[in-house]
Structure 1
Amino acid sequence: MARTDDGPTDVADDATRRLDAARTRSATDTRLPSTAHEPENTVNRPIVVGFDGSPESLAATDWAALEASRRRLPLELLQAWPWPKTDVLGTADAITWSRHRLGAKEATLHAELAGLEVTSAHVPHDPAEALEAAGRGATMLVLGSRGLSTLQGFLVGSVSQEVLGRATCPVVLVRVREDGPEADAQTQDVLIGLDVRQPADDVLAFAFEAAALRSARLRAVHAWAPPVGSEYMAFAAIGGAEKELSAAASTQLADTLTPWRTRYPQVDARSDLVRGNAADVVVDASATAGLVVLGRRSRRLPLGPHLGPVVHAAIHHVRCPVVIVPHH
């Protein structure tokens, strides 16, 4: 059922109301039947997708619908647009058309995915603020990203960039694909980029859960580089130092994955230690992945949210959906 708001309201209250409604619905929902792997879901939080009718948002919506089906979660289409007063020429028609477009997509999803609980909301707010607020009560946010040429990668719009830096839940960026969202599901790898010096449980949990739901292989990649100043060492000393560093990183990577392999015995989790720049390693490794999972440290900085070099490279150059999971 579509919902619209005709006047200014507090977006945080909107998110809270949606979460409360989702909890109420959980007692009488008609979700898809259970699969072989039962996803962890202590609270029936919806998957929220940003919708504006563009090809990118349509691709994101289709991906989010499949993910909601896998996880047996409600799906909410959120269209946010801070429109001017309705007496401005053309505004009323634009609002009517945008609501029609939103309702049509909701109806299509109902018809294509029987049993999936779908709702939509049309709110007169700044898109980044509305999405950030909705994310406080969501399992994840899903956003479309604009695809350009192979030389330029894909641009992340200002809304996506702001939401990525501030969201408290995982954010998924989805590009338009000619072969459709199912193509990612056919690729059996979920790729997680790990920093073994500071592994984050939230990121690992998301990656293993995603692999389990897809019956997919999980590849954990860690990039390492020679110690600073090694170029001034004797050749024999360099070789010894690099072997020690590689062995230590390999042990750390194995130790990081061990408890998660125990928790998810059905997941074929493989580790890959690669020498090189972390951003380049992740982008290169993503070529055969259907989903890339990365972490973003949640911290308040004086100049606002900051996306690290690995996340920045991934969201601009990785072709498959990219999940950014905030962690402390």
Structure 2
Amino acid sequence: MMDIEPHKVLVCVSPGEDCTASLELAAAEARRRGCGVHLAVAVGPLWVGPTGDVDVHLVEGEWRRIGAEFLHECGRRVTELLDATATVSTEIAHGPVVGALVGVSEHAALVVLQHHRMGRTHAVPTLSVTNGVASRAHAPVVAVPDGWGEDPAPSDVVVVGVEDPVSSAQVVRHAFEQARLVGGRVRLVQAWFWSPAFDVDAFGSQVERAQSSALAAQLRHGFADLVAEFEQVPHEVVVVHGRPADVLVAQSHDVGRVVVGRHEPTLPWGSHLGPVTRAVLNHASCPVVVVDPVGRDAAVPRPLGTTPSSRGGHGPGRRAT
């Protein structure tokens, strides 16, 4: 994927898989951002069995042909959804699927993948690639569940999962930028849960109300500067007693998007998503955006016709829920 400005929306597709939802979301994002769309298929290494009887070159060549045909069809469908000035490009990436797609994401503005949610009728959820790309991509990743429709979107609310004002600063910033782009509003959501031994007594009591009120006050104070920078974007602070993953999944049922952060990697292997983000990806009803809170500046461009704020700068970030 070429390093051109503005960076394109990258859509990772796989031959034989439904990609309607991801193509619709990518086209809508490209229209809002005034950029093009780049479609990518990854051709992974082939395992031919212990006998080695299969001609690897023939099999790989056939897979490339199928991938090229599928990319052509996806490109045609995306072109129909875009205006005449937008460009659509395609690429077949070679290597292990996750690593190849992460490499392609280096110059992307946004990465879009479609997946099967857990708990639906599909026998095997297609989350291994989505989770792998989301944990390492160079740009924010949007995981779109099957059956989701961009038009009409269920809501203009962008929910963002908040851990605290320091570690979630960049994640919350992305949520405000996304809401500004779509003309929506932000809901900052923080969930708290001590342990089963104590929370039964706290739930519904004065202790719960006091704890929730104190946490909400901390969030309002901690994000005051950022909120002032996006004064044109309506927002609300919601603090809920409950397990964070359960609370965010429940929020996803009637909003347009959920934004969460991935963990700061301490090792070069293993998942960098964290248990909350992984659970939200598995079960959310709406698209989920996974943001690297310490990665490169992945600012969402402003809608056409708006002017930059007089306030600037990016808040620090280490790790988000």
Equivalent of 2:239 in 267, 273, 281: 273
- Match of 1:136, SS state, is helix
Distance 1:156 1:68 in 2: 25
Q: Please list, as runs of the form range in 1=range in 2, the aligned pairs for 1:234-245 lying within 5 A after superposition.
A: 241-245=207-211
Letter paired with 1:100: E
Residue 226 of structure 1, CA deviation: 4.9
- Match of 2:40, SS state, is strand
Distance 1:209 1:46 in 2: 17
| Runs of 5+ consecutive residues of structure 1 not aligned to the other structure | 1-14, 24-43
> Structure 1 residue 167 and structure 2 residue 137: aligned?
yes
Counterpart in the other structure of 1:310: 276
Equivalent of 1:133 in 91, 94, 103: 103
> Structure 1 residue 64 and structure 2 residue 26: aligned?
yes
Equivalent of 1:82 in 41, 44, 57: 44
Answer 1 or 2: which has greater helix percent: 1
Distance 2:200 2:250 in 1: 29
Distance 2:139 2:194 in 1: 34
| Runs of 5+ consecutive residues of structure 2 not aligned to the other structure | 47-53, 294-317
Q: Please list, as runs of the form range in 1=range in 2, the aligned pairs for 1:182-201 lying within 5 A after superposition.
A: 182-184=151-153, 186-196=154-164, 198-201=166-169
- Match of 2:44, SS state, is coil
Distance 1:154 1:258 in 2: 44
Counterpart in the other structure of 2:170: 202
> Structure 1 residue 143 and structure 2 residue 109: aligned?
no
Letter paired with 2:179: A
Distance 2:219 2:171 in 1: 14
Distance 1:310 1:231 in 2: 19
CA contact (8 A) 2:42 2:94 kept: yes
Counterpart in the other structure of 2:216: 250
State percent identity of aligned pairs.
Answer: 27
Measured on the aligned residues, the alpha-carbon RMSD in Å equals: 3.0
Alpha carbons of structure 1 residues 232 and 307: separation in structure 2 relative to 1, 3 Å: closer
Q: Please list, as runs of the form range in 1=range in 2, the aligned pairs for 1:16-55 lying within 5 A after superposition.
A: 18-19=2-3, 22-23=4-5, 44-55=6-17
Distance 1:263 1:232 in 2: 39
Letter paired with 2:8: P
- Match of 2:272, SS state, is coil
Distance 1:126 1:58 in 2: 24
Distance 1:268 1:300 in 2: 36
Equivalent of 1:99 in 64, 68, 74: 68
Counterpart in the other structure of 1:286: 252
Q: In the comparison of the two structures, how many residue pairs are matched? A: 285
- Match of 1:223, SS state, is strand
Residue 183 of structure 1, CA deviation: 3.2
Alpha carbons of structure 1 residues 265 and 98: separation in structure 2 relative to 1, 3 Å: same
CA contact (8 A) 1:145 1:157 kept: yes
Alpha carbons of structure 1 residues 225 and 83: separation in structure 2 relative to 1, 3 Å: closer
- Match of 1:182, SS state, is coil
